[in-house]
Amino acid sequence: MHHDLLLVIGLLFAVSLLTLLSPKLRIAYPILLVLGGLLIAFIPGIPHVRVDPELIFLIFLPPLLYEAAWFTSWREFWKWKRSIGMLAFGLVFFTSLVVGYFSTWLIPGFTLGLGFLLGGIISPPDAVAATSVLKGIHIPKRANTILEGESLVNDAASLIVFRFALAAVITGQFSLNEAIEQFFILALGGIIIGLLLANAVYFLHRALPTTASIDTALTLMSPYLMYIIAEELHTSGVLAVVSGGLFLSYRSHAFLDHRSRLQAYHVWSTLIFMLNGLVFILIGLDLPDIVGGMERQELHNSIIYGLLVSVLVIAVRFLWMYPAAHLPRLFFKHIREREPSPGWRMPTVLSWAGMRGVVSLASALAIPHTLPSGEAFPHRSTILVITFVVILVTLVGQGLTLPWIVKKLKVQEVDPRMPEEEQEITLRTRMVRAVIDHLEAHPEKTDQTVRAHQHFIQLEQNYLRSIEAIQRAEGVVHQDDSNRKMMLAALHVQRAALTAARRERTFDDEIIRKMESNLDLEETRLSS
């Protein structure tokens, strides 16, 4: 037990060191962690790490999906639902189909059931990898939303394909009508259970006299409850977590106060950092266990198969992306009128961002070692090696070159939207104007009211000049502790203005969340 604990602590330490090196080397940390895990695995004396796939699905997947859903804009997600659905479901099924027939033709003794099994495993791109690689790189808002939305939902589609293909291999039977029926049951059931549980959690937050620690604990328990209950009821745990996370994120301003938001944010930041780090380094560390029982020729052939399948899945994504981006515009006039053309640059970036990761590895490892008859599961080692090669090629190869491609293509915004800096200044000015209107509507002429009125008028003028003036003016206004109660009241007025702006759907959710975070920090300072 002590040995296992020491191993986990050592891995976390390695994750921290490699993550620190990431910005210095200008390499996204998932790529560095996978390569670091590979190097660590071949250090003499390092124990082999065998990853339990059920542990990855249960321990890692719910919080990673929940955190991604929490920071996804529901408004933007719904706006681009057609594009997201075509990638998250259409592309996953198309990739599984193409890989299934190709691998059956390529690999001797590979049945169509095994081909679909492999296709379901390697079809979903990884959420964390894409967002980490693109962090700090400007891409259009539409492209970023579609990537985030795709990576949230495609895991469910791929796991459903994996489940039916595995059953077909084990039983030797497959019914297309039954598979389609079960797909809708799994998907809709997962969404309904997620929303029901999210409403229950929302009620608990609102009805009980919770504290910041209790609120944070509830946010940590929620994704596990959604995932486990949905899976026990034989529906999609992934879609339960995603739908529940999107709902609670959209309503978070109504049931979390400033203390709960700040504490939960810091706790989740630390948790997600550790989980992401462990997941990607475990991918590298698991390779020796994957190839340990394979003969040299078998391993060599499997690597060749993996490289060919990697090229195929990259090509399939390109083949799907351009028609998916332009064909709906060709046939539907309302789409052409509502959505500006994405051109060819945006689909190119989206095509090259299809990096595979932890869900693919966990699915491959979930293949049983034996069939119910006691025979060895056919081609299990080959599937594992192919999966690892696809992860390595897409994550390292595409991940390292994606920033260069974005820079060379000079992808620009195609949708009409207010620049982020202008959004921020406009929203700040509106919040200060709300305070001025509130003070003018309550003309009690105390010295504090007069001073506050003068401060906020000056603050509004400074907001209109520049961001730097905003920061200087805020420092001047909030230094006088005698105005603490007045400033707390002003913060509540600003929150009301922020809530009104959220309903207008004029400002990006990220900007509103940033303004809300600033108010939380200021209220914490004034309340202490």
Per-residue model confidence as pLDDT tens digits over 232-267: 998 888 899 999 999 998 888 888 888 888 888 889
Do residue 489 and residue 362 come from a single domain?
A: no
Inter-residue contact 249 to 69 (CB < 8 Å): yes
Do residue 126 and residue 8 come from a single domain?
A: yes
Across the range 303-316, mean pLDDT stands at: 94
Please indicate, yes or no, if residue 231 is contained in any of the structural domains: yes
pLDDT digits (tens, 9 = 90+) for 343-372: 888 899 999 988 888 788 888 888 887 887
What pLDDT is attached to residue 106?
92
pLDDT digits (tens, 9 = 90+) for 391-423: 889 988 888 888 888 888 888 877 777 777 788
Please indicate, yes or no, if residue 415 is contained in any of the structural domains: no
Do residue 44 and residue 67 come from a single domain?
A: yes
Size (the chain), residues: 528
CATH number at residue 303: 1.20.1530.20
What is the spatial distance between Cα 519 and Cα 528, in angstroms, rounded to a whole number? 14
Please indicate, yes or no, if residue 439 is contained in any of the structural domains: yes
Would the pLDDT of 8 be above 60? yes
Do residue 348 and residue 244 come from a single domain?
A: yes
Please indicate, yes or no, if residue 6 is contained in any of the structural domains: yes
Please indicate, yes or no, if residue 18 is contained in any of the structural domains: yes
| HSE-up (13 A, CA, CB side) for residue 149 | 23
Do residue 302 and residue 179 come from a single domain?
A: yes
Neighbours of 51 (CB within 10 A): 19
Do residue 51 and residue 158 come from a single domain?
A: yes
What is the spatial distance between Cα 477 and Cα 451, in angstroms, rounded to a whole number? 10
Helical residues (DSSP H) of 212-357, grouped into ranges: 212-232, 237-250, 252-255, 258-285, 287-291, 296-331, 333-338, 345-352
- The set of residues, in sequence order, having a beta carbon less than 8 Å from that of 368 and lying 6+ positions away, is 170, 377
Do residue 303 and residue 436 come from a single domain?
A: no
Of 386, 409, 432, the residue that ends a domain is 409
Give 29's pLDDT tier (boundaries 50, 70, 90): confident
Of 362, 379, 409, the residue that ends a domain is 409
Across the range 294-311, mean pLDDT stands at: 89
Do residue 450 and residue 379 come from a single domain?
A: no
pLDDT digits (tens, 9 = 90+) for 423-472: 888 888 888 778 777 777 766 544 555 555 556 556 555 555 544 444 44
What pLDDT is attached to residue 307?
95
Lowest mean pLDDT among 62-66, 349-353, 502-506: 502-506
Of 349, 379, 409, the residue that ends a domain is 409
Do residue 318 and residue 214 come from a single domain?
A: yes
User: CA of 328: how far to CAs of 160, 185, 319, 323, 332, in Å?
Assistant: 26, 27, 15, 8, 6
Please tell me the total count of domains within the chain: 2
Widest pairwise Cα distance in the chain: 89
Please indicate, yes or no, if residue 138 is contained in any of the structural domains: yes
Residue 103's nearest CA partner among 119, 90, 91 is 119
Containing domain of residue 371, as a range?
2-409
Do residue 107 and residue 195 come from a single domain?
A: yes
Please indicate, yes or no, if residue 141 is contained in any of the structural domains: yes
What is the spatial distance between Cα 516 and Cα 528, in angstroms, rounded to a whole number? 18
Do residue 378 and residue 459 come from a single domain?
A: no
What pLDDT is attached to residue 154?
85
What is the spatial distance between Cα 54 and Cα 80, in angstroms, rounded to a whole number? 32
Please indicate, yes or no, if residue 414 is contained in any of the structural domains: no
Number of H helices, E strands in the chain: 27, 0
Give the three-state DSSP class for 51: coil
Helical residues (DSSP H) of 332-368, grouped into ranges: 333-338, 345-352, 358-365
Do residue 246 and residue 123 come from a single domain?
A: yes
